[in-house]
Amino acid sequence: MSADICAVVLAAGEGRRLRPLTEHLPKALCPVGNVALLDRALERVRHLGLDPAVNACYLGHLVAEHVGSRAHLSVEPGDPLGTAGGIGLLRDWIGGRGVLVGNADAYLASRLSPGADIAALLDGWDGDTVRLLGVPGPPYEFGSHRFAGFSLLPWDLVKGLEPEPSDLVRLVWRPAERQGRLEVVEYPGTYLDTGTPADYLAANLHAVHGKNLVAADAVVTGTLDGAVVGSAAHVAGRVSGGVVWPGGVVAAGETLRQAIRVGRSLTVPAH
């Protein structure tokens, strides 16, 4: 079945709710557990054996540089086209295949390995239904579930999508639901959309199970209590339930608590 299915990881959005973090990096490249969100999504689809594409727009040059030759790259001109418009721009590349669409900002974690945890989306697929990954609500978006970052779309619904601003909810998911063509596959673990500083911080702390994660080249002479410390960061103060981005600094006598530090002075609290 994988030969008839490709994958698209959506990484074009501006991440407005995550500002000011996304003034420095596109949301897809923000690190969770010292791994870019985009890399987590690409790892999942690679483990499923799918040919991947990535769409980019906001700070697209950074996404393009990060992806390199690991995936087909679609750079949207102007403003982001939205979830359906981005797929429409990739229509020729998709070329008759079903497509597994994943949001780069979806944080997923379960006892199963990446890829295996969402494999049920593909298992036994008839090529006709729309499948959504879901977790129990609220909010109750689809029956008793809310969307959890990945959907599987049949070609007959993809081929009509145009490269213009539009979204999958309105053009594909809800029409399929009305036609009885939509199935929700429950995700066996934790899902966070990382769209706000609070959820982004929660995803980081969940990824390290409340312990400390320190990059090999970080320098820590201070105190850590549930912290994620990125590459080339320097921590001389205290970090409690916080994230220090690559190259970030927490000075001696300073406490970073329930917040994200970028550089020497940008502190983004989780509220």
Cite the DSSP H helix spans in the chain.
Answer: 37-47, 60-67, 82-89, 91-94, 155-158, 168, 174-178, 197-207
Confidence bin at 3 (pLDDT 50/70/90): low
Residue range 58-93, pLDDT digits in tens = 999 999 999 999 999 999 998 999 999 999 999 999
Q: What is the pLDDT of residue 1?
A: 41
> Can you tell me the distance from the alpha carbon of 223 to that of 239, in angstroms, rounded to the nearest whole number?
6
- Residue 169: pLDDT band (50, 70, 90) is very high
Mean pLDDT value across residues 169-180 = 96
Contact assessment for residue 167 and residue 83, using Cβ atoms and an 8 Å cutoff: yes
In order of 40, 70, 195, the CA distances from 31 in angstroms are 10, 18, 13
Instruction: Assess whether pLDDT exceeds 50 at residue 40.
Output: yes
- The mean pLDDT of the chain is 95
2-192 fold: Spore Coat Polysaccharide Biosynthesis Protein SpsA; Chain A (3.90.550)
Spatial contact of 195 and 15, defined as CB atoms under 8 Å apart: yes
Please compute, for residue 117, the number of CA atoms within 13 A of its CA located in the half-sphere on the CB side: 22
Give me the residue label for tokens 């698209």: 8
Say what the pTM is.
0.93
pLDDT at 2: 47
Instruction: Return the closest-CA partner of residue 88 out of 155, 40, 39.
Output: 155
Percent of the chain with pLDDT over 90: 93
Where in the chain are the domains? 2-192, 208-269
